[in-house]
Amino acid sequence: MSRRLLFAVAAVLVVAGIFAMSALFIVDQTEQALVLQFGQPLRVIRDPGLQVKKPFIQNVIIYDKRLLDFEPPPEEVIASDQKRLIVDTYARYRITDPLLFYQTVASELTARARLSALVSGSLRQVIGNVTLSALLSPERAKIMRQIRDAVAGQAKPFGIDVVDVRIRRADLPPQNSEAIFARMRSERQQQAALYRGEGTQAAKTVRANADRERTVILADAQRDAQKVRGNGDAKAIEIYANAYDQDKDFFVFYRSLQAYRDALTGSNTSFVLNPNSSFFRFFGNPAGTSPPQAAPATKPGSR
């Protein structure tokens, strides 16, 4: 009897455990729950703790009530200035109404697909009214707020509160980027060539001015040098003339000595001159007068 009683108690405990596991559930502080009965929502549980439901006929769906991140795929959009852009965004949202969320999208996977479509549509609508330069300027924060407000307004019927939508990156398509970079490179090369041409022209102008100034300076210097040289020659001639006037015989003697020095320089100098030449007049007579020549002898019988 005792063995049968033990088996009966064990069976009762197992059944009670199964009923307890089916009837009790725990809601974490980061979660919110929706209790369903035969697929129909009965109540929403937002407070954490141990909760009770009818076993076997009711089931529980748990939703996260924290701030969730969502990264839609990059979108190619066209700005108002007809520039094609690849825009990469991300959104942050939370489930505020589990019942409405279950009735409209049911699961987070479906909600992400809906959010992706909403973000894509709002992105195209807002960026289609702005230029690329505005998107790359401080106005970008205002543009992101416009996208967030548009997405948040469309997501409210799903029980979702969109907190933020951010543009992570906005770039041109690779083929457009290469074309723009090539055009920018060509423009910079043209600008550099223009600067080099202007620099070369300025260098030639400076060089021509310097050459002209150099020519003028050299001409002025040569003119002044010739004036100084002429004045010096005139002064020297004047000094020589004055000295010549003071003692003409000494001046003739001095000039003859200079002529001897200039003419007799060198070891192989030879002169063939008449000894009675005036060149040698100071050799035999310091006074420089030519000796008197003897009268020719008369022949006998002559008169």
Query: What is residue 193's predicted lDDT score, i.e. its pLDDT?
Result: 92
**Residue 187, in any domain of the structure:** yes
**Residue 298, in any domain of the structure:** no
Residue 86: give its domain's CATH number: 3.30.479.30
Q: What are 117-134's pLDDT values in tens digits? A: 999 999 999 999 998 888
Range of the domain at 155: 68-172
Residues 11, 60 within the same domain: yes
Residues 94, 164 within the same domain: yes
Single residue among 139, 172, 205 that ends a domain in this structure: 172
CB atoms within 10 A of CB 115: 24
Query: What is residue 252's predicted lDDT score, i.e. its pLDDT?
Result: 74
Q: Which of 101-105, 121-125, 170-174, 245-249 has the lowest mean pLDDT?
A: 245-249
| The overall pTM is greater than 0.95 | no
Residues 81, 156 within the same domain: yes
**Residue 147, in any domain of the structure:** yes
**Residue 38, in any domain of the structure:** yes
Q: In what order do the strands lie in the sheet with 58-64?
A: 40-45, 31-37, 58-64
pLDDT band at 297 (very low <50, low <70, confident <90, very high): very low
**Residue 87, in any domain of the structure:** yes
Instruction: Select the more confidently predicted residue: 54 or 290.
Output: 54
Q: What are 180-193's pLDDT values in tens digits? A: 778 888 889 999 99
Mean of the per-residue pLDDT values of the chain: 83
**Residue 86, in any domain of the structure:** yes
Single residue among 18, 49, 64 that ends a domain in this structure: 64
Beta bridge partners of 37: 40, 58
Residues 10, 97 within the same domain: no
**Residue 152, in any domain of the structure:** yes
Number of domains observed in the structure of the chain: 3
Q: Residue 253 to residues 200, 231, 275, 279, 286: CA-CA distances in angstroms?
A: 67, 27, 18, 11, 9
